[in-house]
Amino acid sequence: MTGTISNRPRLSRPEDAPNPAIGIVHLGLGAFFRAFGALYVEEAMEKSGGDWGILGVSLRNPDLRDSLIPQGCAYTACELGPDGETLRIGTAVRSILVAPESPGAVLDAMADPAVRIVSLTVTEKGYCHAPSTGRLDFTHPDIVADLADPERPKSAPGFLCRALALRRKAGLPPFTVLCCDNLPENGAMLRGIVLELAGRMDEDLAAWIEAECSFPCTMVDRIVPATTEADIERLTERTGVFDAAPVMHEPFRQWVIEDRFTGGSRPDFGAVGVEMVDDVRPYEHMKLRCLNGTHSALAYFGYLSGAETVSEAVARPALASFVRHLWSKEIIPVLTPPPGVDLHAYADALMDRYSNPRIRHRTWQIAMDGSLKLPQRLLGSIAENLAAGQAPEGLFLVVAAWMRYTSATDENGETIDVRDPMADRLRAIWEKGGSLAEIVQAYLAIEEIFPVSLASEPAMHEGLERALGTLMDIGAEKAVAHLTEHA
């Protein structure tokens, strides 16, 4: 902490802030939810009332709790518009618990009859599942621990199962489980995972969850870059107050939720712009493939070619043209648009968002956990192109760039800090060596990432071998330029 910051008063909860009772427990209280869902909840309470205060739960460490509790859980939400910043103070979060320190307190909160929603942003890896199948990984260490000692869960699915068991025993209705992570059919996926785990614990519990508990699917969209020390110092200088845990976010936001809540109990989301729908799948496919898919493309190609942020990446004509090619030729043609949505206009708006220089969304940050992200962001589009008889050369290049990235060495021979649960396994493929065909085959043999039906397609193997060869021969930026010039 710099001297300038340490001499400033600490942010505190505004005296006129409302004090709603806890109605939502949120697992994984990171920057995204505080810059997105918590603000929607706060606005819904302002508009229509209700006790929907949020109890945040950290499933790993106490850092956020230690930053926010001294501030009364208030924090600055900084909107980074192209022309300047707009600040507001978020107050919907009322308290924070750290699960490893007090799992019993977390379970007690989730079992409280006043809590009607348990929401989650735990990232792809927090669900302890295989992304290629959506099934629970019973060999995951946290799941093994949850089955050995259900009363002291470690995983998000473990907390859900145990808390629901406590509510069932007490004769209470279940809470709604609201997944807010970027996963296809996220509510249905989480329902399946919870039912698998509950079935191992207690078949009667699993039957009760299946019959009584709601798991709405959702689509969430707001770019929230990681907060830096420079952000904190800038805000301190601007406001004269030190906030240890502000969040940065773009102006755009979109939340689409299937309107299926236990007993119909929820904040008045519709009053504040949340789209309440019967079927979220067209929206999530649009977002996962158009936004997240091209974000991953920019992450790997941007990083490999030296662009630190997304805005820097799309400022390079070759990378911007490549992203437009992906949208127009390989992603949009195999998408069914949501009602009333022009996918090409949606893509144009995405490019405007990517170009916002105030959003310093690091390519390295987006590149994390690629083994968990590829199935929902890229592989579906590839499979549908192949089924239509088309070879998606651009998407092959993106997967090849991810493979090149996970070698842990960049094009200049410098070491890449690869953050991925499979990092060691992926790097070992390159260390073993062999021909490009053998490297591609080793990747496609990873069933946790690549569905067998796709990995066994000769066109998939041939396309990745072509793409990886191009990347190795001429480098990332020249490879995408060559593709768009000859498309």
Strand partners, 254: 221
Strand partners, 120: 27, 179
Q: Which of 425, 439, 429 has the alpha carbon at shortest distance from 471?
A: 439
Q: HEC states along the chain? A: CCHHHHCCCECCCCCCCCCCCEEEEEECCCHHHHHCHHHHHHHHHHHHCCCCEEEEEECCCCHHHHHHHHHCCCEEEEEEECCEEEEEEECCEEEEEECCCCHHHHHHHHHCCCCCEEEECCCHHHHCEECCCCEECCCCHHHHHHHHCCCCCCCHHHHHHHHHHHHHHCCCCCCEEEECCCCCCHHHHHHHHHHHHHHHHCHHHHHHHHHHCCCCCEEEECCCCCCCHHHHHHHHHHHCCECCCCEEECCCCEEEEECCCHHHCCCCHHHHCCEEECCCHHHHHHHHHHHHHHHHHHHHHHHHCCCCEHHHHHCCHHHHHHHHHHHHHHHHHHCCCCCCCCHHHHHHHHHHHHCCCCCCCEHHHHHCCHHHHHHHHHHHHHHHHHHCCCCCHHHHHHHHHHHHHCCCECCCCCECCCCCCCHHHHHHHHHHCCCHHHHHHHHHCCCCCCCHHHHCCHHHHHHHHHHHHHHHHHCHHHHHHHHHHHC
Predicted pLDDT at 322? 97
Predicted pLDDT at 487? 76
Predicted pLDDT at 82? 87
What is the full per-residue pLDDT of the chain (487 aa) written as tens digits?
555 576 899 999 999 999 999 999 999 999 999 999 999 999 999 999 999 999 999 999 999 999 999 999 999 999 999 889 999 999 999 999 999 999 999 999 999 999 999 999 999 999 999 888 889 999 999 999 999 999 999 999 999 999 999 999 999 999 999 999 998 899 999 999 999 999 999 999 999 999 999 999 999 999 999 999 999 999 999 999 999 999 999 999 999 999 999 999 999 999 999 999 999 999 999 999 999 999 999 999 999 989 999 999 999 999 999 999 999 999 999 999 999 999 999 999 999 999 999 998 999 999 999 999 999 899 999 999 999 999 999 999 999 999 999 999 988 889 999 999 999 999 999 999 899 999 999 999 999 999 999 999 999 999 999 999 999 999 999 999 999 998 7
Taking the C-alpha atoms of residue 373 and residue 364, their distance in angstroms, rounded to an integer, is 14
Predicted pLDDT at 479? 96
Beta sheet of 218-221, edge-to-edge order: 218-221, 254-258, 275-277
CB contact at 8 A, 420 and 314? no
